[in-house]
Amino acid sequence: MTAKVRRRCLLVLALACVVAAPARVLAQADRAGMTTGQLYQAACAACHGTDGKGQPRSIVGFDTPLPDFTDCAFTTPEADLDWTSVIHRGGGIRALHRRMPAFGDALSEQEIERLVGHLRGFCAEPAWPRGELNFPRAFFTEKAFPENEAVFTFARQGGGELDLETAFLFEQRLGKRAQYEINVPLAFHQDVAGAWSRGIGDVDLAVKYALYDNLARGFIAGAGGEVTLPTGRESSGLGRGVAVFDAFGAVGQALPRASFVQFQAGLEVPADAEVAGKEVYWRTAVGKTFAAGRWGRSWSPMLEVLGAHPFGAPTDWDLVPQLQVSLSGLQHVLVNVGLRIPVKQPESRARTLMVYLLWDWFDGGLTSNWRRR
C-alpha cells in the first residue's frame, strides 16, 4: 500500500468516526478555543465538506444525497428552528435520514447556534429573504414572503342558498424574491329551490414580489397584482361575470415569543363598471406558533380581521378564527381549519366553514417524510 493510499484510508476512517460517534469525538476535543469554522470542520465537514456542497460517495461511503448549502434556494426558506432541531436531535426528528447524527449531547446551545450561522453563510447572495420571515399562512391575508406551495381549500357556506367550493392554488417561486400563482376553483351552488349548479369558478392569476426585508427587525414587505378571469357562470352563481384587476401590498412583522402580525391592503377594479364596482379591502392576521416539546408538531392559532369597502356601499367586516397544525414530520404538510364570521350584515351573509391542506412541495413529496424516525 502506497503512502498516498494509506493516508486516504486513514482519512476515510477518521471521517467515519466523526459521523458514527459525534458525541465521543467532540467530547474528547478541546473546543474552548475553536473558531466557528474549526467547529464546523470538526463536527460537520466529514459529510458536508469544507465548502458546504457535500462530500462525494467515495468519501462518505453511502448513497444518501447530501444537501448543497451553497444553494440559496435550499438554505434560506426555513427558520433557524428547523436547522437547530436536526442538529440537536438528528435527521429523524424531521423525518429525514438517520445518517444525520444528533449533536445535542456533544455541543452546547451556543455552539449549535454558531454552526447554523456558519451553514447560512454558505449562501453568498444576501438578497434571499430568510425563513424567519416566512410566517404561517392565513386563509385570506396574503404573505409578503415568496413561496413554493400547493394549497387545497374547501369552503362551505350555508344560509338560504348553499355554496360549496374547492380550490387548488399553485405557487411557484421565481428566483430570490418573486412568485407567481394560479388558483382554480371548482364551485357547487344550490339555490333556494334545491337545484344544484356546478363547474369551474373564476380563475385567479397573480404575481408577487418581496420588496424589502430586514431579518434583524423581523420585517418583510411585498407587493403584487392579480387578475380574476370570468371563467365561472354568473347565471348559475359560480362567478362574478367580469374580469377583476387587483393591486395589493403586504407586510409581515415578527413579534416576541414566536408571535407575528401580517397585513394586506388592496384595490379591486372590474373591467366593466356596469357589472361590478370598485372595492378597497384590508386584512390583518395575528397569531402565535407553539412547538410541541420544542422540536415537535407546530400549532399556530390565528385571528384574521377582514374589511372590505365597495364604492357606494357599506363596509363589510369579518372575523376568521383559525388553527394551523403541521401534519408531517418534516412539517411540509399542514392543515388549517377556520370559520369566517360576518360582523356586519350577518343576516345577509352566512358563516363559512373553511379547511385547507398546504403542501410545501419544494421540501419533499406529498406522501414522503411523514414519520419521525
Instruction: Map out the domains of the chain with their CATH numbers.
Output: 3-120 (1.10.760), 131-359 (2.40.160.40)
- Torsion angle (degrees, nearest 10) of CA 28, 30, 32, 37: -100
The burial class, CB within 10 Å (0-12 / 13-18 / 19+), for 160 is exposed
- Given this model, what pLDDT does residue 163 score? 81
Average pLDDT, the chain: 88
| Poorest-pLDDT segment among 108-122, 192-206, 249-263, 296-310 | 192-206
Say how far apart CA 233 and CA 349 lie, in whole Å.
21
Grid coordinates belonging to 368: 414522503
Q: Tell me: the pLDDT tens digits for 201-250?
A: 999 999 999 999 999 999 999 999 999 999 988 777 678 889 999 999 99
Q: Tell me: the pLDDT tens digits for 66-108?
A: 889 999 999 999 899 889 999 988 888 888 888 888 888 888 8
Contact 197/233 with Cβ under 8 angstroms? yes
Say how far apart CA 148 and CA 361 lie, in whole Å.
6
| Local confidence band at 30 (pLDDT 50, 70, 90 cut-offs) | low
Kindly report the number of other CB atoms within 10 A of residue 259's CB atom.
14
Mean pLDDT along residues 9-23: 42
